[in-house]
A and B are shown apart, each in its own frame.
Chain A
Amino acid sequence: MAALPRRIIKETQRLMQEPVPGISAVPDDSNARYFHVIVTGPEDSPFEGGLFKLELFLPEDYPMSAPKVRFITKIYHPNIDRLGRICLDILKDKWSPALQIRTVLLSIQALLSAPNPDDPLANDVAELWKVNESEAIRNAKEWTRRYAMDN
């Protein structure tokens, strides 16, 4: 395997040295391109108080292509499906090499604060969110308590 690009090393170092509040990303012992991520639910959102596990993988041509990010913890969110896949433009076509792991994770955290039911990935959730937002938020809180808090 080719050695780790300097950029990844630098990013990792910086993540360790200056962690973003509410976000922790730790590279895997055996694969430095694979990160174990924990994102706290943002305040004033239905996900407040939850600790959401994600996995983040830097593909071979990173930073020319976007990292692969996925929620491991179940989450009730219109832009995140049952498998934890995230619908976020910067992870897709809006990726830019100027973005970094930390910015991506911050974006995801922001996505939790501001669900976008108009660009849904989980259709049922998005539907409910649009139709009955309070129930949806209740569901989200429930899920957060159930899945993102007991550990």
Chain B
Amino acid sequence: MEQFEQLLTCAICLDRYRNPKLLPCQHSFCMEPCLEGLVDYVRRQVKCPECRAEHRIPYNGVQGFPTNVTLQRFLELHIEITGELPDPTSGQIMERCNVCSEKAYCSFCSHCDKKICEECKGAHMEILRREISRINNQIRRGIHRLQDTLSLVEKNTQNIQTNCSSVGEEVEEIYRRLNKALKDRTEYLRGELDKYLSTELRSLTNLKENLEQEISNILSNCDLADKHMNENVDIWDDCELMDAKEIFLKTVEFIRNFEYENSDYSRKVRLVLGHDPNQLVLHVAGFGDLNITNANSVFGQSSSLLQPPVPGLMRSKSDHRLASQFRQQEERGYGERGYGDEDQVLSGRKFGERPKSTGESRYGRGGDYGDDYDHDSRPTRSKYSSRFRRHPTTENDSDSEQTPRVRFNEHKERERTLDTEDVAKGPLSGITRLADSPRVMKKMQECESGKTKKKEDPPKPPEPKVVPKRPPPPAVRQVSEEDEISRIKKQNKGATTSTETTAEMRPAAEDRQRKTPVPEAVSSAEESEESTTVQQRKTPTKTAAATRRPSDATHKKSPRSASSDSSSTESSTSSNPIRTTGAPFTTEEVKKKILSKVEPTPPVRKAPSPVQNKPFQSRFLQNKTSTAAPQEDDEVETSSEEETETEEESDEETEKTDTKEIAKSDIGALLARSANARDNSVENIRRRSRDDTDSPSRTRYTSSREREKEEPPKYTRTRNTTVTEEEPPKYGYTSRFLNKSKSSAAIPPEEEDHSSRYSSAADDDSKYPTSRSRYMAMKERRQRLARSRSSQQFGDEDESEEAISPTSSNPSAYLASRGYGSSSSAHDLARSRSSHALKSRDNSPDRSASSATEKDGAALSSWARYLKSKYGNRSGTKDKDVTSSVSTPSASSSGAARRLSLGLPLRSSTELASSDDDSKNMQGSPTTPTAAMAVAGIAQAVAGTTPRGQYLQKCEQLFQIGSRGSEAGCFTWPRGVAVGPDNTIVVADSSNHRVQVFDANGRFLKEFGQYGNKEGEFDCLAGVAVNRIGQYIIADRYNHRIQVFDPSGRFLRAFGSQGTADGRFNYPWGITTDALGFIYVCDKENHRVQVFQSDGTFVGKFGSMGNKEGQLEHPHYIAVSSTNRVVVSDSNNHRIQIFDVNGKVLTSFGSEGSEEGQFKFPRGVAVDDQGYICVADSGNNRIQIFSPDGTFLRAFGCWGIGKGEFKGLEGVAMTSNGHILVCDRENHRIQVF
């Protein structure tokens, strides 16, 4: 069999014969490319590789040689026997690949629209796959936005429910009250009426009775008189007659006088209404309205339910744009041309051409639909339409008059096909659910049966099986397939099935419309017409489709109908949360962090909010009402205006603050600090230069400084540094905190803190006679600091800081409590904070007058002049300020702060200028170490553990972060690691092209960055560093640049590009920053270290390729100690070199090997505040710790995947609490020791 095989193998390509040609010498070779390659074109002959016989080439080239038919038969026989797959390329002709222009069997590539060879195609598919996975990562990372939205929507649902029920209760309550009031009043009125009636009736009957009696009496009297009085009967005596007469007279009188007061009783009772009854009825009838806008303001921010408006429009919009971009990419990524086409189709692209060709090439190589269906992973319009095209008569014969139109409609049909395809679609985005696509399902099935890989694989080119020609099958097969689909879908969704054709056609049409960005292009008439045709065409197709589609329809319909009434509200709610949650950094956050002004914020936030514009929403709106669209536009405009306004506002604020020298922004704070630090060093220089002529008129402060100078034993120096430096971190924090809660008044105290600090130093020092050791003073101070435990020392104790911070409580009281009250600055503190900055600045000259000597002024002013001449574009007053600043620390610091706030360098003159004095000073300067480290130093000292001991004990892993992956908290080849403020852990997740931030306990906090070369994007970033103000500085390795991000992860700036010139990079790797914000970059392939200012201005460089002292070969990582020793891992020289800031080698240690103190390709380096050096000895897979002088202290770790074992070490970092962070690259994790 083997020999048989060998006989079927071409001697040239060592492959099975393809189109074997028989040479006259009876040797056979493949025609292409083997025999072709043998042709000697000059002599037009070919030399047989086997027997070296030379043959003339026939007139029509090598194909003119006879085909070895026998061999071909054997080949076929062999195929039959072994059952192996036939050569896919048999019968094909080689073409030049349009990409690599090699001759090969080409096929059409959907990625580049060209006919290319398999290799290139494979590469393209790989690209697509990678793109998809990348986008998928982005989606995964972004999906939480939708989830947040979902939760918000849920919350909102709840809110609206509670709202409605509460309003309902309210209505009920009102109803009850009104009812009761009405009833009560009615009853009361009735009662009154009754009472009135009864009394009146009683009096009337009374009167009536009396009257009747009177009448009868009088009548009887009259009768009596008539009868008896007139007769002369003497029965009556005179007396009696007199009486009778009197009675009768009285009666007459009574009758005459009696008057019935008719009016009394003719009074009518009338119901007098307080209000017009009609009005009243109206009032009651409309006793309340459900005012939605009112509800908004009630619900407002919390729920933002009924409130489309949300702040930060710009960003949200951009997010959306981003999102939609992703979507498009995704769509494109699937090679789903049809999907992307719909715009093009709408924009009038001729239908027949490209889609058709692509359709054919993609699905149609075999040419028949059934084949497509088998191979392609996704259903597409072209496919669908082709289905119709191919079988119009069979499926449409019932209404054959439709057929002429079919072709025209095809184009509409196309768009629809996707929609109506049995694919669950996102009702908002129109993104199909891949798992529901029959093709994908099919693929998945294949996958499960052990064939292929992942779900979201791009449409693979139809595997060129030579399928034993199945007749174009559709109807039967489709039914079965779709039956299955619908079954699965039913299982998936429990969707209801109904055969309503209207339901079917409506969403279809709507969907199409929804998907079209320009709906007006489609007239309603067209729509209806089309939908009918659609329906007509649909219905006859098959029942399976019918049962399936409605489920789809209902699925799509529900969200739509929900949105139809309150489309704006609903969609806006959905959009709204997206913005708030979606944006990695909302305006609020940013504002909180960077700006102050919380009070103005709410209105600002509210104002732009109504304006929310989302692609989704607008699409909805446009569908619903044509008027909605322009409105939307207007809103957008206003919103953007407002947004810009707010941004301007913020800008203004920062500007203001800058000019006010209030280091308000973080940068300002740092700069102020650094300026301050620098100043101190300058001060020191001056001192030194002037030591001999010590002036007696110095203030306590200066004298203390003097003493500091005079006794600089090492320990003292470090303590010294802690003292001078203890403030800065606090500034960083306080300013940030203050910015959260305070307006511009927040920062000024900083100024006086400087002074207070100095005064405190002065106090302390003055307490101790000069003879006494400075150490004592320091110790005492430290104790006090420990006692008070104020946040000033421990910058990471946020809460206490907020509580005690001099800026948040009464500053003077605070200072007084700390024993600083005696200093003159306390007066200032007592004053209003807002004016304070000015005050202290005013003060400073006074102090300077007392504290500084003329010489200082002279010495420094030259320096100031230098600065000015170099960078100065300031006004005269500021000039003055600058010069005055020279003489006094606080003033100069403020001046420097101002200068530095513009990104001007200060250190360049002191540190990098050539003066030896300067550099020495810098080394010994107490002002340069990083604050965080200093703080840590204190903390440690207080805790009583020496770092040495601590390191000697190191070996146990405390915890670890991450595993391989691209989700949050996972890594793919992490490289750099750094410690940020609060001991946050910052990791350069290199092959995920992002930065991840964890808290000190390893909990994921945030991430930023993605693949790319635009702003804020990375390509395999390597080093990370965090400067004192929390900005992230990233070595964007394959983009050959450095990027800087603000503490919230927003892009600030980038600098550098590929090259060897100054400021250019070749694979920048490790990066670090020092106390003054200078950026040190290991420019790996240029074998050098470059130094930049924080704004990216090139400052200097050192190192060149080589292994001599001061030379570097592939320096990987870098660290700067508190004493300005620049530690570089000189990887390929297997050593650590330590430079001073000028690039002069101070020392180096290590050699190749695996003994203690030896290295194999050391990579990560870190330095703690005490100068202890930690080295990631990557070749030996261990961590080594060295004392500051380079003597070996401890090593731990070995190769492996367990705890405390490493595979490929990268960056290391040391936290202020003595933990060591190790980036264990091949294990895709960070280990903490």
Closest chain B CB from A69 CB (angstroms)? 19
Q: A2-B100, A3-B119 are in contact. Are A97 and B34 (CB under 8 A)?
A: yes
Residue contact B102 to A2, C-beta cutoff 8 Å: yes
Residue contact B102 to A97, C-beta cutoff 8 Å: no
Other-chain residue from B13, B50, B52, B102 in contact with A7 (beta carbon distance below 8 A) = B13
Interface size class of B (residues with CB under 8 A): 10 to 19
Closest chain B CB from A12 CB (angstroms)? 11
B15 interface contact, C-beta 8 A = yes
* Chain A contacts for B522, CB-based, 8 A: none
Residue contact B38 to A7, C-beta cutoff 8 Å: no
B12 interface contact, C-beta 8 A = yes
* Chain A contacts for B288, CB-based, 8 A: none
* Chain A contacts for B13, CB-based, 8 A: 6-7
Residue contact A11 to B34, C-beta cutoff 8 Å: no
Closest chain A residue to B102 by CB distance?
A: A2
Closest chain B residue to A4 by CB distance?
A: B119
* Chain A contacts for B102, CB-based, 8 A: 2
Residue contact A64 to B37, C-beta cutoff 8 Å: yes
* Chain A contacts for B47, CB-based, 8 A: 96
B49 interface contact, C-beta 8 A = yes
B11 interface contact, C-beta 8 A = yes
* Chain A contacts for B34, CB-based, 8 A: 97
What are the interface flags for A82-113 relative to B under an 8 Å C-beta threshold, 1 for contact and 0 otherwise?
00000000000010111110000000000000
Closest chain A CB from B564 CB (angstroms)? 56
Residue contact B15 to A6, C-beta cutoff 8 Å: yes
* Chain A contacts for B49, CB-based, 8 A: 96-99
Closest chain A residue to B120 by CB distance?
A: A3
A63 interface contact, C-beta 8 A = yes
Task: Please report whether the interface of chain B is mostly helix, strand, loop or mixed according to DSSP.
Answer: loop
Closest chain A residue to B122 by CB distance?
A: A3
Residue contact B37 to A97, C-beta cutoff 8 Å: yes
B233 interface contact, C-beta 8 A = no
**Distance A104 CA – B52 CA, assembled complex (angstroms):** 16
User: Which chain B residues in 1-41 approach chain A with CB under 8 Å?
Assistant: 11-15, 34, 37-38
Q: A2-B100, A3-B119, A64-B38 are in contact. Are A97 and B12 (CB under 8 A)?
A: yes
Closest chain B CB from A62 CB (angstroms)? 10
Residue contact B52 to A96, C-beta cutoff 8 Å: yes
Residue contact A7 to B37, C-beta cutoff 8 Å: no
Residue contact B100 to A98, C-beta cutoff 8 Å: no
* Chain B contacts for A100, CB-based, 8 A: 14
Q: Residue among B12, B14, B102 with the most chain A CB within 10 A? A: B14
User: Which chain B residues in 1112-1169 approach chain A with CB under 8 Å?
Assistant: none
Closest chain A CB from B123 CB (angstroms)? 9
Closest chain B residue to A63 by CB distance?
A: B12
* Chain B contacts for A10, CB-based, 8 A: 14-15
Residue contact B15 to A97, C-beta cutoff 8 Å: no
Closest chain B CB from A37 CB (angstroms)? 19
Closest chain A residue to B47 by CB distance?
A: A96
Residue contact A98 to B11, C-beta cutoff 8 Å: yes
* Chain B contacts for A64, CB-based, 8 A: 37-38
Closest chain B residue to A64 by CB distance?
A: B37
What are the interface flags for A1-18 relative to B under an 8 Å C-beta threshold, 1 for contact and 0 otherwise?
011001100110000000
Closest chain A CB from B698 CB (angstroms)? 68
For chain A, the count of residues having a C-beta within 8 Å of the partner chain is 15
* Chain B contacts for A97, CB-based, 8 A: 11-12, 34, 37-38, 49
Closest chain B residue to A100 by CB distance?
A: B14
Residue contact A98 to B15, C-beta cutoff 8 Å: no
What are the interface flags for A45-62 relative to B under an 8 Å C-beta threshold, 1 for contact and 0 otherwise?
000000000000000010
User: Which chain A residues in 9-48 approach chain B with CB under 8 Å?
Assistant: 10-11
**Distance A64 CA – B11 CA, assembled complex (angstroms):** 12
* Chain A contacts for B52, CB-based, 8 A: 94, 96
Residue contact B119 to A7, C-beta cutoff 8 Å: no
**Distance A97 CA – B39 CA, assembled complex (angstroms):** 12
**Distance A94 CA – B48 CA, assembled complex (angstroms):** 11
* Chain B contacts for A98, CB-based, 8 A: 11-12, 49-50
What are the interface flags for B461-504 relative to A under an 8 Å C-beta threshold, 1 for contact and 0 otherwise?
00000000000000000000000000000000000000000000
* Chain B contacts for A3, CB-based, 8 A: 119
Closest chain A residue to B13 by CB distance?
A: A7
Residue contact B11 to A7, C-beta cutoff 8 Å: no
Closest chain B CB from A39 CB (angstroms)? 22
* Chain A contacts for B11, CB-based, 8 A: 97-98
Closest chain A CB from B1224 CB (angstroms)? 24
* Chain B contacts for A63, CB-based, 8 A: 12
* Chain B contacts for A2, CB-based, 8 A: 100, 102, 119
Residue contact B100 to A7, C-beta cutoff 8 Å: no
**Distance A10 CA – B15 CA, assembled complex (angstroms):** 9
**Distance A100 CA – B6 CA, assembled complex (angstroms):** 15
Closest chain B residue to A94 by CB distance?
A: B52
**Distance A94 CA – B49 CA, assembled complex (angstroms):** 10
Closest chain B CB from A132 CB (angstroms)? 36
Closest chain A CB from B600 CB (angstroms)? 61
**Distance A96 CA – B47 CA, assembled complex (angstroms):** 9
Closest chain A CB from B25 CB (angstroms)? 12
Other-chain residue from B14, B15, B50 in contact with A96 (beta carbon distance below 8 A) = B50
**Distance A17 CA – B100 CA, assembled complex (angstroms):** 32
Closest chain B CB from A87 CB (angstroms)? 19
* Chain B contacts for A7, CB-based, 8 A: 12-15
**Distance A94 CA – B15 CA, assembled complex (angstroms):** 23
Closest chain B CB from A3 CB (angstroms)? 5
* Chain A contacts for B38, CB-based, 8 A: 64, 97
Q: Residue among B47, B49, B52 with the most chain A CB within 10 A? A: B49
Closest chain A residue to B36 by CB distance?
A: A64
**Distance A120 CA – B12 CA, assembled complex (angstroms):** 30
* Chain A contacts for B12, CB-based, 8 A: 7, 63, 97-98
**Distance A99 CA – B38 CA, assembled complex (angstroms):** 13
Closest chain A residue to B9 by CB distance?
A: A10
**Distance A55 CA – B14 CA, assembled complex (angstroms):** 23
* Chain A contacts for B119, CB-based, 8 A: 2-3
**Distance A99 CA – B49 CA, assembled complex (angstroms):** 8
User: Which chain B residues in 82-116 approach chain A with CB under 8 Å?
Assistant: 100, 102
Q: Residue among A2, A97, A99 with the most chain B CB within 10 A? A: A97
Closest chain B CB from A145 CB (angstroms)? 32
Closest chain A CB from B1205 CB (angstroms)? 25
Closest chain B CB from A149 CB (angstroms)? 29
**Distance A61 CA – B49 CA, assembled complex (angstroms):** 15
* Chain B contacts for A94, CB-based, 8 A: 52
**Distance A94 CA – B52 CA, assembled complex (angstroms):** 8
**Distance A116 CA – B102 CA, assembled complex (angstroms):** 41
**Distance A123 CA – B34 CA, assembled complex (angstroms):** 38
* Chain A contacts for B37, CB-based, 8 A: 61, 64, 97
**Distance A104 CA – B355 CA, assembled complex (angstroms):** 53
* Chain B contacts for A11, CB-based, 8 A: 14
Closest chain A residue to B117 by CB distance?
A: A3
* Chain A contacts for B50, CB-based, 8 A: 96, 98
Closest chain B residue to A3 by CB distance?
A: B119
**Distance A48 CA – B119 CA, assembled complex (angstroms):** 45
**Distance A7 CA – B119 CA, assembled complex (angstroms):** 15
Closest chain B residue to A14 by CB distance?
A: B14
Closest chain A CB from B185 CB (angstroms)? 97
**Distance A98 CA – B50 CA, assembled complex (angstroms):** 6
Closest chain A CB from B13 CB (angstroms)? 5
Closest chain A residue to B12 by CB distance?
A: A97
Query: Can you show 24 pairs from A to B with CB atoms below 8 A apart?
Result: A2-B100, A2-B102, A3-B119, A6-B13, A6-B14, A7-B13, A7-B15, A10-B15, A61-B37, A63-B12, A64-B37, A94-B52, A96-B49, A96-B50, A96-B52, A97-B11, A97-B12, A97-B34, A97-B37, A97-B49, A98-B12, A98-B50, A99-B49, A100-B14
Top 5 nearest A-B pairs (CB, nearest first) are A98-B49, A98-B11, A96-B49, A97-B12, A97-B49
Q: What is the interface of chain B, defined by CB distance below 8 A to chain A? A: 11-15, 34, 37-38, 47, 49-50, 52, 100, 102, 119
A6-B13, A7-B13 known; 11 other A-B pairs, CB under 8 Å? A2-B119, A6-B14, A7-B15, A10-B15, A64-B38, A96-B49, A96-B52, A98-B12, A98-B49, A98-B50, A99-B49
